[in-house]
Amino acid sequence: MTSAGEPDVGVRVMASVQRRRRGRGATRTHWALYLFPVPALALVVAFLLLPLVQSFQYAATDWNGYSATYKSMGLDNFIHAIFNDSLFQNSVVNTLKFTLVVVIVQTMLSLLLAVLLVKNSRLNIVLRSLFFFPTILSSVAVGFIWAFIYDPTFGLMRGLFQMVGLGALSGSYLGDQQAAIYWVAMVQIWFHAGQLMVVFIAGLQLVPQELYEAADIDGAGKWARFRSITWPMIAPATTIVVAYTTIQCFKAFDLILGIAGNPPGTALDILSTRIYTSFANSQYGYASAESIIFMAVIGIVVLLQRWALRLTQARE
Amino acid sequence: MAEKWGRRAILLVYAIMIVIPLLVVLFGGFKNIGQLYSSPLGPPVPPTGRNFTSLVTTANIGVPILNSTALTAGTLVITLFFGSLAAYGLARIKGWIGWVIWAALVLGMTVPAQTSLVPLYVTFRSLGLTDNLFGLILVETVHAIPVAVFILGGFMRALPRELYEASSIDGAGPWRTYRSVIMPLSAPSLAATAIFLFVIVWNDLLYPLFFTTSPSVQTLPLALLAFQGEFLTNYPAIFAGVTVASLPVVVAYIFLQRYFVAGMTAGATKG
Amino acid sequence: MNSPKFSDPISRRNVMALFGAGAVTTLLAGCAGPGSTSVSTPAAGSAFTGPATGTVSFYHWRGEDKATFATLIDRFQKQNPKITVNMTITTSNDYLANALPKVRGGGLGDVLPAFRGAQFVQFSQAGVFTDLAGQPVVKDYTPGLISAGLSGSKQDGLPYQLLLIEPIINEDVFNKAGADPNPASWDQTLNSCDKLKSAGYVPIAFPGADSGNSSQLLNSMVLADQPSEDAFTQIEAGKLKVTDDWFLAVLKKYQQLGPYFQPNFLGSSQASARQIFVDQKAGALSTGSYDIATVRQLGGQFPIGMFFPNTLASPKSGWYKGVYNATFILGVNSKSKVKPAALKWIEFLSQKDQAEYYANQTVQWLTLEGLNYTNPDLKKLAPILNEKLSLDEKFLFLNQDIANAVYAACNSAASGVSVNQAAETAQKIIDQARSQ
């Protein structure tokens, strides 16, 4: 069976072999084992965790990245960014709009596609590979493609609107200050819905068929079956999809630069591009403060989502 | 019946939505500017190869292809080696030390890259590691290692305890167990990790943009971004570039499709 | 405390150090606190002595001129077999926003231009350039035109290109529509647009999605209403505001002009707007003379002229006939390790025959003296250079966020947003940027 929707074959086989808990033969750890994680740990500590700490240190200064002197700013950078910098506020709002739309629409779409393609028929497998395909392209390339499709004079999107007789509604897309971020959200969905569809397919294939058979005996309708069996049973997959999608959205840096150029205009400026702009303007201290706020925003969003998801996943 | 057709209609529409932008690029690379604007979707009649030859002659696309290949290969080799070492060690180290190390690595993964990027850049600058390929490999490796440890660790913890114990009874030290027992068994999850990281590193723009400036160390995504300046949104040239830059990944996808899906799903679910 | 220089090759010791676990502590102690990088002042005096050899990185934003520069590089390398020139090109928006941190280490841009105004000042203050004063090459240039490359008494750079920064037009279309390309007042400007529109053309193709190009029009639009020639500097200093009456009047004019741009112009890239012009569907293209060569390359064969959107309330004698700019201020990077070779490349570009080749191929006038322009477009449009021209003022903006806010205000006024609202949005960003 060459199922395209099977995650990590090896892990699952081995997972069944395991289950016999450890701890029995509690021999002491061989001293040489402590050396094994050292290279990985050294790199991560030196180049990820230490810079993270330094980031807080930088954030309290006005250092410009090259001069020998700098002023201590205390919390001023944070205060300025949160309360007085409308470009930064704008990028937070754009990031949240983008993430909200993508998380909701893409999760629903990829679940719908997964439900339609869950059976391992030949056609379904072909379609899965096709839908998955955009994921492997580079974001910059995807940005270029869609910048062309959204061209208000020559682009395909305008042609599509005209074809269905709505030519008058065709706008300036990426030039539309209010809507541009949603047009890019659509690109992100085109780009990654197929990848998360596969995660859902893996989740769906783990739902025991007996549950559905029991529901059939009870005479449950389609929606009731979905609501009371499928949705709660795929909760782990949904959690993963939502969290991963959120992080992907916050990192949409490459896609934005590909589609909007560098630097992007305010309508498409998101947190990660804003931080890069500050960095490029040699505001190292300020960029660090922005990036710490960025981390906090991601944290809050992920926690809120967990909470919201859990509410819907409770079995009735 | 209606439901069956409804399903088919949805799938067909979505398939068209996926295919059309791809066709625009594929055909577009073989058109001149006038052809592209007058018929964005039509096949290129007559096709021109000029965009592709100019990639080689004027855009010098060979350099970024080599750089991206070296970057991806270097990152993958180091990451898989260090990552599997760590995953193996952590699967066997007992007690709180193992947990502390594990927690440090997990923390490295959950922190968004941007947060540590500015200080990291300054460190690299003072070490002379900006603007060269080795530094770039190091940056990519540092960010890839936690992901690799995570995916591989999930696998190695799931290995039966007896495997480890049996080989130590045979008198094999941890290194030999790692090399001759664990590594061969881990081949599928190593492959999955490799593919997940391959797609990410090959397509990455963030670190090359921050950490390099010279054309001699330019990677493909950077070269693509530079096309905006070099070709001034000459879309046929850009589309030809997109086609060439995507070719290695697309070819790999065609032949290794199943592993791609498995790898990228493992990356999403465990990474 | 300081480790190897920016572009040093990696030594084996470096590599070993990085991987040794013990090195972690060294790293912690050794580097990367704020302010830990030292600033070296460029050595004074004999910057250009020594052999002219090596690889020269030439970093610029002129994608249009790529092929021409490539030919010149070929010729140069044949004459100077010990020098290689590597060209790196980026978009003008990217160059304006991101060039400084990239070039200040010296790994990129041994020879590099700056935009006139803010960027040049920024580069000079950051010590990016090497003083060229006293070099023989300076004498090749027209003295009045290279003052933009002076920083105090230092000749930090040599402005190379001379451009007309106002819309270019398709004269056939203007003739067919009976539109006047030389309006003497704002009413006449609108009247020309009206005639083009009634004849079924897009009066002005406008690259609204590309701030670098769409903002060129601002130079013409402010001329009649601005209280002083350094109005943009004063906006940045907080002495003038975009909510002042004079700027509201400018925005009002944008609002009147908006309906004469192509539909949905806010989403149009430079390429898209240019294609409308090449397809002969537009009367004018709102960029500048630097776009002529590309229009020709894309197959535009119609006669090209210039269109100066006159903003006067009523005709006035002795008024401006257009806007010009002397820019692409070429200099040598103070961190360059191949300064003599870098200077050689600038000298080569300043030689009469090479400069003429560049000018005629790329359809640009240059600031060098005594050049012979043979390109028909250059010859035809050259008389405009003798008219009274205003110097491009928008490059006086030093802060990119402020500049972008002002440009955005113009574009949104053109798209129909009320002028007060557009101005207030921009002023808010300006105030915040100033308070930082």
**Any idea what DSSP says for residue C293?**
H
Helices (H), C40-87: 66-79
Say if A275 falls within a structural domain. Answer: yes
User: Which residues of chain C form CATH 3.40.190.10?
Assistant: 54-164+325-386, 168-324+392-435
Q: Which CATH architecture has domain C54-164+325-386?
A: 3-Layer(aba) Sandwich (3.40)
**Any idea what DSSP says for residue C302?**
S
Is the omega angle on the peptide bond into residue A263 within 30 degrees of 0, that is, cis?
yes
User: What's residue C369's pLDDT?
Assistant: 87
CATH superfamily for C168-324+392-435 is Periplasmic binding protein-like II (3.40.190.10)
Enter the tokens of residue B241.
Answer: 């570039």
Is the omega angle on the peptide bond into residue B46 within 30 degrees of 0, that is, cis?
yes
Distance CA C415, CA B271 (A): 45
Contact between B190 and B80 (Cβ < 8 Å): yes
> Tokens 């990228």 sit at which residue?
B264
- DSSP per residue over A234-269, as a string? THHHHHHHHHHHHHHHHTTHHHHHHHH-SSPPGGG-
Q: What is the CATH number of the domain that holds A204?
A: 1.10.3720.10
Say if A203 falls within a structural domain. Answer: yes
- Between A222 and C20, the more confident residue is A222
Which of C120, C211, C220 lies closest to C167, judged by CA? Answer: C220
Interchain contact, C63 vs B230, CB within 8 Å = yes
Helix (H) or strand (E) holding C390: strand C389-391
| Predicted ipTM of the assembly | 0.88
Say if A28 falls within a structural domain. Answer: no
Interchain contact, A153 vs C275, CB within 8 Å = yes
Expressed as residue numbers, the domain containing A286 is: 71-143+180-313
Contact between A264 and A257 (Cβ < 8 Å): yes
| Cβ-Cβ contacts under 8 Å for A165 (sequence gap 6 or more) | none
Distances (CA, A) of C271 to A298, B76, B230: 37, 39, 13
Q: Name the percent of chain B lying above pLDDT 70.
A: 95
* Residue pairs spanning A and B at CB distance below 8 A: 317
C-chain CB neighbours of A275 within 8 Å are: none
User: What's residue B61's pLDDT?
Assistant: 85
What is the maximum span of chain B, computed from C-alpha positions, in angstroms? 74
Out of A61, A176, A263, name the one closest to residue C267 (CB). A176
Query: Of the segments A138-147, A259-268, C40-49, which one has the largest average pLDDT value?
Result: A138-147
Q: Name the percent of chain A lying above pLDDT 90.
A: 52
Distance CA C391, CA C322 (A): 9
Say if A5 falls within a structural domain. Answer: no
Out of A37, A137, A294, name the one closest to residue B246 (CB). A137
User: What's residue C48's pLDDT?
Assistant: 87
Q: Which of residues 87-106 of C touch A (CB under 8 A)?
A: 91, 93-94, 97-98, 100-101, 104
Domains and CATH numbers, chain B: 2-48 (no CATH), 62-270 (1.10.3720.10)
Q: Binning pLDDT at 50, 70 and 90, where does residue A314 land?
A: low
Enter the tokens of residue A93.
Answer: 């709002």
Which of the residues A54, A149, A172 would you substitute to probe the C interface, choosing the one with the greatest number of C C-beta atoms within 10 Å?
Answer: A172
Out of A7, A44, A140, name the one closest to residue B108 (CB). A44
Q: Tell me the nearest-neighbour CA distance from C269 into chain A, angstroms.
A: 8
Distance CA A112, CA A135 (A): 18
A-chain CB neighbours of B95 within 8 Å are: 29
Strand order from edge to edge, sheet including C282-285: C202-205, C282-285, C168-170, C304-306
User: What's residue C23's pLDDT?
Assistant: 39
Please give the model's pTM, rounded to 2 decimal places: 0.86
* Residue pairs spanning B and C at CB distance below 8 A: 103
Strands C111-114 vs C322-332: parallel, antiparallel or unpaired: antiparallel
- Between C430 and B192, the more confident residue is C430
Out of C39, C100, C266, name the one closest to residue A68 (CB). C39
Beta partners for C204? C261, C284
Name all chains with 3 or more CB-CB pairs below 8 Å to chain A: B, C
* Sequential pLDDT tens for chain C (436 residues): 333 332 333 333 433 333 343 334 334 434 445 554 444 444 445 678 888 999 999 999 988 888 899 999 999 999 999 999 988 888 787 888 778 878 887 778 999 999 988 889 889 988 999 999 989 999 999 888 888 899 988 999 999 999 999 999 999 999 999 999 999 999 999 999 999 999 999 999 999 998 888 999 999 999 999 988 889 999 999 999 999 999 999 999 999 999 999 999 999 988 899 999 999 999 999 999 999 999 998 889 999 999 999 999 999 999 999 999 988 999 999 999 999 999 999 999 999 999 999 999 999 999 998 898 999 999 999 999 889 999 888 878 888 889 989 999 999 999 999 999 999 999 999 998 888 7
Q: Tell me the nearest-neighbour CA distance from A63 into chain C, angstroms.
A: 6
Helix (H) or strand (E) holding C282: strand C282-285
Interchain contact, B226 vs C2, CB within 8 Å = no
Say if A167 falls within a structural domain. Answer: no
User: What's residue A316's pLDDT?
Assistant: 47
- Between C253 and A244, the more confident residue is C253
Q: Over 80: is that where the pLDDT of B251 sits?
A: yes
SS3 B147: helix
User: What's residue B169's pLDDT?
Assistant: 72
Mean per-residue pLDDT of chain A: 86
Distance CA C19, CA C62 (A): 42
Say if A88 falls within a structural domain. Answer: yes
How many domains, chain A? 1
